[in-house]
Amino acid sequence: MRDVRKLVLALLVVAAAMALSACGGSDASTTASGGTGTGADSGKSAPEAGKPAGSEDVPTIVVRNGEPVGGVKELEYSAGEEIRFRVSSDAAEEIHVHGYDLMKDVPAGGTVEFDFPAELEGIYEAELEGLGVQIVELRINP
């Protein structure tokens, strides 16, 4: 009986998380690759014309006056892929990737790069830790 209760509770938690992630979005949201956020896009952008096949642009989040320019960036990956993004900031700040518990300091006027495997499925955020401002939504699909 306890196993059934645990299973039901786990299903309720998953359903609630899915319902919450569906709320608050807009059709105007964009991914780092410039897509519409429909789930078909990935955090990786297609190679530009004139670049060798296999070369990719790394999404860059620009922070100005304590806010991500253009709003929170949505980056989508599949489990097992390599998550890569950069943060450029006009002010010194600590960048924290929640769930993965990764932290890096970006100096004023500098850039920091994150590069790690997508091992944890779900939705995670990266934020300006000191200000508590979200700058990235990471969506890791199975």
Number of domains in the chain: 1
Residue 39 tokens read as 């789930």
Radius of gyration of the chain (CA): 17
Looking at residue 51, its pLDDT comes to 39
Decide if 21 is inside a domain. no
Domain that holds residue 84: 27-141
Domain with residue 69: its CATH number is 2.60.40.420
- What does the alpha-carbon distance between residue 132 and residue 87 come to, in Å, rounded to a whole number? 15
Decide if 9 is inside a domain. no
Residue 80 tokens read as 């097992």
pLDDT, tens digit, 9 for 90 and up, residues 3-26: 545 544 554 444 444 444 433 333
Decide if 6 is inside a domain. no
Decide if 20 is inside a domain. no
Q: Which residues of the chain have pLDDT under 70?
A: 1-56
pTM comes to 0.62
- What does the alpha-carbon distance between residue 85 and residue 44 come to, in Å, rounded to a whole number? 9
- What does the alpha-carbon distance between residue 91 and residue 63 come to, in Å, rounded to a whole number? 8
Decide if 119 is inside a domain. yes
Decide if 3 is inside a domain. no
Residue with tokens 């934020």: 127
Decide if 15 is inside a domain. no
